[in-house]
């Protein structure tokens, strides 16, 4: 009985992985299996939260060192495609100056993934939009620091 159950579970797992490879493509499947940059950065300089039209939410955390992104991470409550896109968005943010973050678009994330079903492409735009929101937060925080320095006490 245990052998039949084990074989059933092995077959089911293989089917799930095959379907995930078909949906996410090779790069996306590999990243889904081996997520990078997932988790909250507790000492981040900027945090942004957005919710996509599909209802998935994403958070991006960025830490800056010498005006460049030195650490980046994401969390999402979304599907596998949202996780993969969040991971690529965080990776693409690393080593960038704040103004270069504006170049991270849904199209760029999709081009890095290579294969994404049309139904899941919105996930790349959610991830890019969250990076853009983090950029807004960065400039807002930076302007507030500048104003505090300029305000006579």
> Could you tell me the residue range of the domain that residue 103 belongs to?
2-150
Confidence band, pLDDT 50/70/90 cuts, at residue 97: very high
The per-residue pLDDT for 144 is 56
Distance CA 65, CA 7 (A): 51
Q: Radius of gyration of the chain from Cα atoms?
A: 19
What mean pLDDT, rounded, does the chain reach?
Answer: 88
Average pLDDT over residues 29-50: 91
Question: Does the pLDDT at position 150 exceed 80?
Answer: no
Bigger pLDDT: 34 or 133? 133
Q: Single out the residue of 71, 83, 93, 94 nearest to residue 35, CA to CA.
A: 83
Q: Please write the tens of the pLDDT for every residue from 109-140.
A: 999 988 788 888 999 999 999 999 999 999 99
Confidence band, pLDDT 50/70/90 cuts, at residue 6: confident
Q: Please write the tens of the pLDDT for every residue from 41-68.
A: 999 999 999 999 889 999 999 999 999 9
Bigger pLDDT: 15 or 129? 129
Count how many domains the chain has: 1
CATH number at residue 94: 3.90.1010.10
What one-character-per-residue DSSP string does 74-93 give? EEESS-HHHHHHHHHHHHHH
Pairing of β 68-76 and β 57-65: antiparallel
Distance CA 129, CA 59 (A): 10
The per-residue pLDDT for 142 is 63
The per-residue pLDDT for 17 is 82
The per-residue pLDDT for 145 is 59
Question: Does the pLDDT at position 151 exceed 60?
Answer: no
């Amino acid at each position: 009985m245990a052998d039949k159950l084990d074989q059933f579970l092995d077959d089911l797992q293989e089917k799930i992985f095959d379907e995930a490879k078909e949906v996410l493509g090779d790069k996306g499947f590999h990243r889904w299996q081996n997520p990078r940059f997932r988790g909250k950065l507790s000492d981040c300089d900027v945090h942004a939260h957005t919710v996509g039209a599909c209802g998935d939410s994403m958070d991006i955390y960025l830490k800056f060192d010498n005006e460049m992104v030195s650490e980046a991470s994401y969390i999402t409550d979304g599907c596998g495609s949202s996780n993969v896109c969040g991971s690529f968005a965080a990776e693409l943010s690393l080593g960038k100056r704040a103004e270069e973050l504006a170049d991270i678009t849904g199209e760029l994330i999709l081009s890095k993934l290579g294969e994404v079903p049309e139904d899941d492409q919105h996930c790349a735009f959610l991830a890019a939009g969250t990076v853009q929101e983090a950029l807004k937060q960065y400039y807002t925080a930076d302007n507030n620091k500048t104003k505090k320095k300029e305000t006579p006490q």
